[in-house]
Chain A
Amino acid sequence: MGQCSTKVKPTAKPHGCKSKASPCGARKTCESAQTTVEPLEWFGDMISHCLEYAEAAKAQGKPIVGIMCEYTPRELIMAAGGVPVCLCGGDPDTIPAAEKHLPSNLCPLIKSTYGYLVEGSNPFLEMADLVVAETTCDGKKKMFELMAESRPMHVLELPQKENAPAAMEHWVKELYGLKLELERRFHVRITDKKIRRAIGVMNTERALRRALAALMKSDNPPITGRQLLDFKSSISCLPEDFRMYDRALEIYGNGCPDRDLAGRVRVLMTGVPMAHGAERVLELVEDHGGLVVCMENCTGLKPIIDDVDASAGEPLDALARKYFDLPCSVKTPNAARRDSLRKLAAEYRPECVIELVWQACLTYDVETYGVKRFVEGELGLPYLRVETDYSPSDSARIAVRVQALFETVRGKAKSPRGSKAAGALKPH
């Protein structure tokens, strides 16, 4: 990871060092960290680190492999000596280019990703030696057909029936097919040993990210949900990222927040992923008195809750098991999503649930009805569904819904009649 060290700014001010007499001993850590950049700043510059890393890897002859879904096992690509890069688009500006080919009434994540292809403006996609696509959504599946016209592509077919042995068997075969394709295309042999090593590294990253997310269980979390969302990279397992995760845990893990976030309304967000650049709704939630303590989606906890069994006799089977069990709305009946929500609600103690749905995301949108019923009925929490796309034109409307939700939550907390449910959103 030497190529990334040029990015480190030795003069950067470490986090949490405002107070000289820090009650929790953070000062010592801060002093010892004078020579390093702080983790939030590091991950704020994530794209350029990934780009440097990918370019260096490419120069060394390592294949760059684009992926677009958490069902795709990065471990197999890493075991092939490749670099898996997430291609999910979060930029509204690439959507007009995409709409030259794609219908406007389509998920913005798909359109944004494809718009980068039309514009040739995603450097990771441009340097990709292969794109591993999947059938986890009909919109993506058909978009991938168009992308395959100009990019080498391998499609993973994800069976959709939850807990079905035949579906699982098929998924194992699909992963085996990917393994063969990677071996053939990149002239490597993917041994069990290499897969196990990749599993180990990925498990380490998952554990680090889980530990950071778990800090939000506190009554007074040390960071915001928006900050937590930044703690990840388009390329997994960058060695410098690992150091930064450790460092972040060191800074925030000792219960020494530099801000008082205890008074905010605790929110669990569920639904669609918030790709890099598409964090607007989360920001609206936190700008209006909320604190997103838990993200049960693909850019949050969903893919990192479970590890892969590193000791399994057949590592490919272990990979298949872990990834097949992800509770995406494409699965049916996707009962695992409710189990996960139940567990997360107990651990993170949200006061309400906000579900984000990208426009035209059919499966997530249909699931909202059942999720709302579950959240209100079984979890006993207020629920709000926000359907939007990447354009900010409805931000004021979303804000009013979020604020009204929080007023209800606060009203309930203060008095049974809710007579004091006032804003507290504008200091006076």
Chain B
Amino acid sequence: MLYAGIDAGSRTIKVLLVDADGRDVVASGIRDQGVDQEGLARELFTETLRSEGLSRRDVKRIVATGYGRDIVAFADTTVTEITCHARGVRFRAAEAMTIIDIGGQDTKVIRLADDGVVRDFAMNDRCAAGTGRFLEVVAARLGVKLEALGRMAAMARAPATINSTCVVFAESEIIGLLASGTAPQDIAAGVQNSLATRVSTLVRGNIEEPVIFTGGVALLPGMVYALETALGQSVAVAERPQFTGALGAALVAAGR
């Protein structure tokens, strides 16, 4: 029997299937989030099953997580992304003590107890500054694709300082920097640094190693370095960081 985790995030939906002991990822799929969130999740789920020649009957239990978890009506139950990230990370890296998850609209720092249970967590409030959405806005403003932002930042000579704690204000600040002739590379690096600084203030410097980095933003080259610099600690990117939440949900479904 198989177990499914569905992570209905703010920007993308992820589906992941594991076998009964959780060791093998049988299938996975990802697509952009949209208006009909339930329909999109259902489609992705069906496609992911079909890609491996499976059917709904092969799946014993489905757990939904993520911002849109309550909309996934075909799930058996819902669990928050905080618990799912903890489960997903600990399953692969049993010694992990801290998780930094930067997704589309949330940034979370999750601290784990020795036994892997969530000890506490901190996350951003209303504002989306310091999240994937923030990076998208910046990439659009700098005229590059999101994936290219990290490469661009790597070429910075003197990273700019971005002070604003709000996406809208930060965007105006970037427009101002561009107008004053600051190199886009320096702005890109400055944005990564400001994001990393925000993570470090979120936890008030209270981070225990090993630190595992999850969420879509972990895929951007340069972000790990920016985080390591801001925290003064080493940070490891989770295996397939975008799927950590879905993996955790699948493991919860499997009772692992």
* CB of A297 closer than 8 Å to a CB of B: no
Among the listed A407, A418, A422, A424, which residue makes an inter-chain contact with B116, where contact means beta carbons less than 8 Å apart? A418
Contact of B81 among A400, A425, A426 (CB under 8 A): A400
Shortest distance between the CB of B122 and any CB in chain A (Å): 9
Chain A residues within 8 Å of B81, by CB = 400, 404
Q: Which of A388, A401, A412 contacts B117 (CB 8 A)?
A: A412
Interface flags, A405-428, vs B, CB<8A=1, else 0 = 001100110001111111111101
Q: Interface code A39-79, partner B: CB below 8 Å = 1, 0 otherwise?
A: 00000000000000000000000000000000000000000
User: What is the CA–CA distance of A421 and B118 in the complex, to the nearest angstrom?
Assistant: 10
Contact residues in B for A421 (Cβ distance below 8 Å): 79, 83, 117, 252
A383 within 8 A of B: yes
Q: Does B255 contact A (CB under 8 A)?
A: yes
Interface contact A394-B77, CB-CB below 8 Å? no
Count how many chain B residues have C-beta atoms less than 8 Å from C-beta atoms of the other chain: 25
Would A428 and B77 count as touching, CB distance under 8 A? yes
- CB of B230 to closest CB in A, whole Å: 21
Interchain CA distance A418-B75 in the complex, whole Å: 21
Q: Check B83–A411 contact: CB distance below 8 A.
A: yes
8 Å CB contact of B83 from A382, A404, A426: A404
A99 contacts the other chain (CB 8 A): no
| Residues A408 and B125 in contact, CB atoms below 8 Å apart | no
**Any B CB within 8 A of the CB of A396:** yes
Chain A residues, Cβ within 8 Å of B76: 428
Query: Is A160's CB within 8 Å of the partner chain B?
Result: no
Q: Given A408-B118, A416-B115, A417-B115, A422 and B79 touching (CB < 8 A)?
A: yes
Interface residues in B76-128 (C-beta closer than 8 Å to A)? 76-83, 106, 115-118, 120-121, 123, 125-126
One of A394, A403, A417, A419 near B125 (C-beta < 8 A):
A394
Any chain B CB within 8 A of the CB of A11?
Answer: no
Whether B63 lies near A422 (C-beta < 8 A) is: yes
Cβ B121 vs Cβ A419 within 8 A? no
Residues of A contacting B78 in the complex (Cβ-Cβ under 8 angstroms): 423, 425-426
Contacts of B82 on A, CB cut-off 8 Å?
400-401, 404, 407
Closest-CB distance, B39 to chain A (whole angstroms)? 19
Residue B225 interfacial (CB < 8 Å)? no
Could you tell me if A404 and B77 are in contact, using CB atoms closer than 8 angstroms? no
Find chain A residues with CB under 8 A from B115 CB: 416-418
Across-interface contacts of A388 in B (CB, < 8 A): 125
A258 part of interface (Cβ distance < 8 Å):
no
The CA-CA distance from A20 to B256 in the complex, in Å, is 45
Q: Is A397 within 8 A of B123, CB to CB?
A: yes
User: Which of A382, A400, A408, A424 is close to B77, meaning CB atoms less than 8 Å apart?
Assistant: A424
CA distance A366 to B75 in the complex (A): 41
Once bound together, how far apart are the Cα atoms of A423 and B62, in whole Å? Answer: 12
CB distance from B20 to the nearest CB of A (A): 14
For A381-398 the 0/1 string (1 means CB < 8 A from B) is: 011100110000110110
Least Cβ–Cβ distance between A92 and chain B, in angstroms: 14
Contacts of A394 in B (CB 8 A): 125-126
- A425–B70 Cα distance when bound, in Å, is 10
| Whole-angstrom distance between the Cβ of B198 and the nearest chain A Cβ | 16
Chain A residue at minimum C-beta to C-beta distance from B253: A422
23 examples of A-B residue contacts, CB within 8 angstroms: A387-B125, A388-B125, A396-B67, A397-B126, A400-B81, A401-B123, A404-B80, A404-B83, A404-B118, A407-B82, A408-B117, A411-B83, A411-B118, A416-B115, A417-B115, A417-B116, A418-B117, A422-B77, A423-B77, A423-B79, A425-B77, A425-B78, A426-B78
B residues with CB within 8 A of A: 63, 67, 70, 75-83, 106, 115-118, 120-121, 123, 125-126, 252, 255-256
A404-B80, A418-B115 known; 9 other A-B pairs, CB under 8 Å?
A: A382-B120, A387-B125, A393-B126, A400-B123, A419-B255, A421-B79, A421-B83, A422-B252, A426-B75
Interface residues of A (CB under 8 A from B): 376, 382-384, 387-388, 393-394, 396-397, 400-401, 403-404, 407-408, 411-412, 416-426, 428
